[in-house]
Structure 1
Amino acid sequence: MNNGKDAIFICLKDQPELLDKASHWFHSKWGVPLAEYRTSMKESLMQKSKIPRWYLVLNTKQEIVAGAGIIENDFHDRKDLTPNLCALFVEPEYRNNGIARSILDFARKDAGKAGFSTLYLITDHTTFYEKCGWSFLTMANDSSGPVRVYAAPTIT
């Protein structure tokens, strides 16, 4: 499979046995320390609070081909803009098949079920998120400098 037709979208909390595989996969894509992902993902499995939340997209071989998370703050200075979608990544051979848009919608629905009305994200992209129903909100700063903050209403 190199398209999104056979993709399986899951919440990590529904398949906790994928924690190690998921934490390694996200670490390999973003370079954030493995321990940070493991800690956040373990917290999501305990479900003591509404966030963090982690999502995976699996192919028919049960390989992770895409994923994203929802965390309180994605390392920017606008602590009032929470929760944040983070770590969205689709493997190159699976891109341009609607998987990223589907993850965004999946996360917006899940966040809506959790009681959130708005989801935020930071990015340096300028058109992709608008095509997916997100709106530019403001600029913020992270460790690399200015970043664009987008917002989208959750889906109920």
Structure 2
Amino acid sequence: MEDMIINIKEQPLRKQQAAEWFSQKWGIPGEEYLQSIEQSLDGQGAVPQWYLALEGERIIGGIGVIENDFHPRKDLAPNVCALYVEEDRRLQGLAGRLLARVCKDMAEAGIPTLYLITEHTSFYERYGWKFFCMVREDGDGELMRMYVRTTELGHKIKALEKN
């Protein structure tokens, strides 16, 4: 069975299922995810956005875009967050397709630059992300790696600035 990547706006009735799935994967209360997903469904802006990778009815991956992913650098926004692919679906390019969809949609929404924080090293570089700096996570203050990615819109802006 082939997988399909959707913006939750395409299937809004999945909002509760999506919130519970993200909560199980990341240990953050489902209500926080549900609130952000509902905000994305209101369509008031480019952020937040939530995406699911589906195989039939099963969620096999997901990703979000929020204003800030729990760090004090509010100027580094928006943030890609909660990227997760089920273990039995890893090493098949799904994470890359989720990241590509987010970058494409954010460029179309007028967002030239995206950020994310992670503990991973070398994973995101494969998909065009560049290490930017270390930031402290809110709360426990753990240092995390911040990455930056210029969307297609950002590349066009830079090209125009050179001319």
Alpha carbons 1:72, 1:82 under 8 Å: kept: yes
Say whether 1:32 aligns with 2:32. no
Equivalence map 1:3-22=2 (5 Å): 6-22=2-18
Alpha carbons 1:105, 1:155 under 8 Å: kept: no
Equivalent residue letter for 1:87? A
Aligned residues between the structures: 151
Instruction: Give TM-score scaled by structure 2 length.
Output: 0.90
Q: As a proportion of its length, which structure holds more helix?
A: 2
Which of structure 1's runs of 4+ aligned residues deviate more than 3 A? none
Structure with the greater alpha carbon radius of gyration:
2
Say whether 1:48 aligns with 2:44. yes
Equivalence map 1:7-156=2 (5 Å): 7-59=3-55, 61-142=56-137, 143-144=139-140, 145-156=142-153
Q: Distance in 2 between matches of 1:62 and 1:8?
A: 10
Q: Once the two structures are superposed, what CA deviation does each residue of 1:76-109 show, in whole Å capped at 9, x if it has no partner?
A: 1111100000000000000000000110111000
Equivalent residue letter for 1:131? R
- Name the structure, 1 or 2, with higher relative contact order (CA <8 Å, separation 6+): 1
Displacement after TM superposition at 1:155 (Å) = 3.0
Q: Which consecutive residues of structure 2, in runs of 5 or more, have no partner in the other structure?
A: 154-163
Q: Which consecutive residues of structure 1, in runs of 5 or more, have no partner in the other structure?
A: none
Q: Distance in 2 between matches of 1:51 and 1:111?
A: 9
Instruction: Give TM-score scaled by structure 1 length.
Output: 0.94
Q: Distance in 2 between matches of 1:130 and 1:148?
A: 12
Displacement after TM superposition at 1:49 (Å) = 1.7
Q: Distance in 2 between matches of 1:96 and 1:141?
A: 30
RMSD: 0.9
Alpha carbons 1:11, 1:53 under 8 Å: kept: yes
